[in-house]
Amino acid sequence: MLPLDDIKVVDLSRVLAGPWCTMTLGDLGAEIWKIESPAEGDDTRQWKPPEVAGISTYYLAANRNKRSIALDLKHQDGQAIVKALIAKADVLVENMRAGTLERFGLGWEAARAINKRLIYCAISGYGRDSPAASRAGYDAVIQAESGLMSITGEAEGEPTKHGVAITDLVTGMNATQAILAALIARGRTGEGQFIDVALLDGAVSLLANIGSNYLNTGKPPRRFGNAHPTVVPYQTFHTGQGRFVLACGNDLQFRLICREVIGRPELADDPRYRTNTARVANRDTLIPLLEQVFATRPAAHWLSALWAAGVPAGVIHDLPDVFASPEVTGRELVQRVAHPTIGEVALVRSPLRLAGTPVGTPTAPPLLGEHTEAILRDVLGKSGPEIARLAASGAVRLA
């Protein structure tokens, strides 16, 4: 039995933050009813290339373990179907513009009147009570406005966004945590609750130690590229052949580097470098010394020596290297599942590893409306003629 085997989720989200949340709930066993517009479905279905057999690989990344029902929220019958699903659901996840679902009679108050046990998670860019609540929230803008871009990139370069939509992904994780907590609370109270999750909130929380530094010292941070602002040496180094990342997290590790790896024990005893605080203050002299040493041998030599000494270090992999690496293949992080049109689709497996209640074998991200008929029939008990009428009226789309 999976942890969320008996949980039903109405998924009114699209793009990434909401779908990432509901995908995780699906990994844990919840039944996900992914509600999509009949015309084009989830926005990410159109985000291509790249694509496989006409299907967006972006869409494939965030929608395993779901059942797609295509319906028109502007149609009265479409709204009635969603209300019927809400009556049977445990969780609703949405990331519509503020006020959108209220216009369709599907906002929090209306949903709560239908099902007092419902956990209603609203995901937005800025939060429902924010002065910017009416603005659309997209990851790139949130990275800019949250300060994440200002601390990312080379010291003399432009502020840089993360390589993936990190604020969307973290918001999806935050929403998942909040929903799981609300399910536990409901077990005690018998009632659901409203959850307000914002991309900006999650992004500002990601400032972590950098944010704490500014709040408590008043000093604005600067960019350090691949180096660390408060730990030294903690950065990328170029060698005689190749490069690697060194993550020296404490004074003991620095002594190991000096004495066992590079053969420069005097550096460990030098008062300029003996402690991390001193190394941060004197990085401008220490780093060139280390660069000179590392330039004498290839990266493979230094990595072998660092690993033998127990010092954290690693290669900068590109994606072919990542998915061929023994660390990834050994954990079976890629799963291949049957797909109705592609034949087989490759997915990165859930990172959640529970010994007693492991996540289930994934199902492929659904085709648009692939499960409309089955959900109407099996979940809501509608007859064949009634389903045909709904399809003819434009309220739903059958696969």
Residue 21, in any domain of the structure: yes
128 lies in the same domain as 276: no
96 lies in the same domain as 135: yes
CATH of residue 312: 3.30.1540.10
Pick the catalytic residue from 168, 269, 284, 378: 168
43 is catalytic: no
Residue-range definition of the domain harbouring residue 183: 8-206+349-397
Residue 241, in any domain of the structure: yes
Q: Residues 310, 304: contact at Cβ < 8 Å?
A: no
Rounded Cα distance between 141 and 78, Å, is: 33
- pLDDT-derived band at 179 (thresholds 50, 70, 90) equals very high
146 lies in the same domain as 43: yes
* Residue whose entry in the numeric block shows the structure tokens 């030098």: 270
198 lies in the same domain as 249: no
CA 188 to chain centre: 29
* Residue whose entry in the numeric block shows the structure tokens 């230094």: 302
Residue 281 in this model has a pLDDT that exceeds 90: yes
The percent of residues above 90 in pLDDT, for the chain, comes to: 97
Structure tokens at 29: 């066993």
CA separation, residue 103 to residues 73, 79, 92, 109 (Å): 10, 11, 17, 12
Q: What are phi and psi of 387, to 5 degrees?
A: -65, -40
Residue 213, in any domain of the structure: no
367 lies in the same domain as 304: no
62 lies in the same domain as 166: yes
Phi-psi region of 385 (alpha: psi -120 to 50; beta: other; left: phi over 0): alpha
Residue 165, in any domain of the structure: yes
Residue 310, in any domain of the structure: yes
Mean pLDDT, rounded, of the chain:
96
Residue 326, in any domain of the structure: no
| pLDDT per position as a tens digit, 331-361 | 999 999 999 999 999 999 999 999 999 998 9
Residue 98, in any domain of the structure: yes
| pLDDT per position as a tens digit, 121-166 | 999 999 999 999 999 899 999 999 999 999 999 999 999 999 999 9
Q: What is the pLDDT of residue 399?
A: 84
18 lies in the same domain as 162: yes
| pLDDT per position as a tens digit, 50-99 | 999 999 999 999 999 999 999 999 999 999 999 999 999 999 999 999 89
52 lies in the same domain as 12: yes
CATH of residue 27: 3.40.50.10540
162 lies in the same domain as 259: no
Total-model pTM = 0.94
| pLDDT per position as a tens digit, 190-238 | 999 999 999 999 999 999 999 999 999 999 999 999 999 999 999 999 9
Residue 38 in this model has a pLDDT that exceeds 90: yes
Q: What is the pLDDT of residue 110?
A: 97
240 lies in the same domain as 364: no
Q: Residues 236, 244: contact at Cβ < 8 Å?
A: yes
Residue 339, in any domain of the structure: no
280 lies in the same domain as 202: no
The count of domains in the chain is 2
Rounded Cα distance between 289 and 383, Å, is: 77
Residue 24 in this model has a pLDDT that exceeds 90: yes
50 lies in the same domain as 192: yes
